[in-house]
Structure 1
Amino acid sequence: MKYFAIIVAGGSGLRMQTETPKQFLLLNGKPVIMHTILAFFASPQKPEILVVLKEQYFGLWEVLCEQYSFNLKHRLVAGGSTRFHSVKEALDLIAEESVVAIHDAVRPLIDPETISEAYLLALQKGNAVVAVPSKDSVRLQKIGGFSQSLNRSEIFLVQTPQTFQSKIIKKAYEQPYNEHFTDDASVAERDGAQINLLAGNQDNFKITFPADLRLAEIILNEKSR
């Protein structure tokens, strides 16, 4: 079976309070996105890697690869106007039957073991979406200003990778764009797929704010000891 990894790197640096897109910020001496790609390369499935970037950053990425001697084989894909369109651009390049993992470039602490488990579960059941249980109490805001308590044991926080058999996810992405598509699972679910959750890891968080980058540095330093 053929395996692919679509690394979606279309973010900006706005919430990081920097002009540099967050996927290019340095984490333990190299850009965040390089940690992410290395994790997929280290998985047993050794997927073919498609990196989705805004075309305006292709030149910067090539400079960074040379600067940090980053020579892992991958293919650049020009991103679209939304995450949905960016993923679709990459999916359109996958012709053969395969298993496809879609991952946020700014989740650099994903581990190869979870990646492998996601591929295996998707191969068996059609899809696998990494998620972690909520640690906090959760409330639903209702119309009228009131809120309702939800059962925390039934609430999971969705991460990536979100992994699918190619025939399932490519068909799902033939749908017209909908603003309620918040991730790949919501696209597949709208097309009729039942989503399988796979236990994730709290370390697999998305780097969004400056504090996230500092925490990632601490975790990587602890792992390297």
Structure 2
Amino acid sequence: MDLRIGDALMCAKSRIQGNNFSLTTQKGKSALTVLIPDHVIAALNALPPRADVHPDYFFWSGNSKHKSLTGRWQRKLERLNDHLSITKDDGTPMKFHSHQLRDTFAVTQLLSGTTMQDLSKMLSHKSVKITERYYSPWVPERQGHSSGEWLRHSSRWAFRLVCRLSIRPIKITKSTRTNGWQLSLHRQKTNTGRLPLHRPHRGSRG
């Protein structure tokens, strides 16, 4: 997912036409059109009505400010860490946060061959230099790892993790095989998990 959490939360139903979501980003006020996969459209349309959500939106009441809406959902997502045990590739513990979905999208795009210039447009960065600052280490030519190894850390797993945890607890385990990564999902009452997610080295992300 290449959207910032605030832009996703304030998505109006009328802004989605087919698989296209057209919006003006809250940060930078950039015009942007995002392609949304069919399974995401189906998940959004399946959301039940809520008293605190305006019927014209998926997550927003239509009244609260952008920052308060974003903060409320970030706190909700942080509670996922009570059910997860996420580590970096070196085994160092790390916490899940929403921007990791955006980071993983960016890294996956670069390793799939997307140019830095095109990625910068997808992320609605004001300048390609901002994109290079955070993501240039993940350009395949600038790293020793094969692109195939890193492509296994697809952002779709992060999306499925969030969606499924909102329904019932699951356990995500990771086992290393000779030819790469293997991820398995198990529903259970007590849930822990391991999921590699990308994050820039330091600083706030765009």
Above 0.5 in TM-score?
no
User: Relative contact order (alpha carbons < 8 A, sep ≥ 6): 1 or 2 greater?
Assistant: 1
**TM-score scaled by length of structure 2:** 0.27
The answer to which structure has the higher helix fraction is 2
The answer to which structure has the higher strand fraction is 1
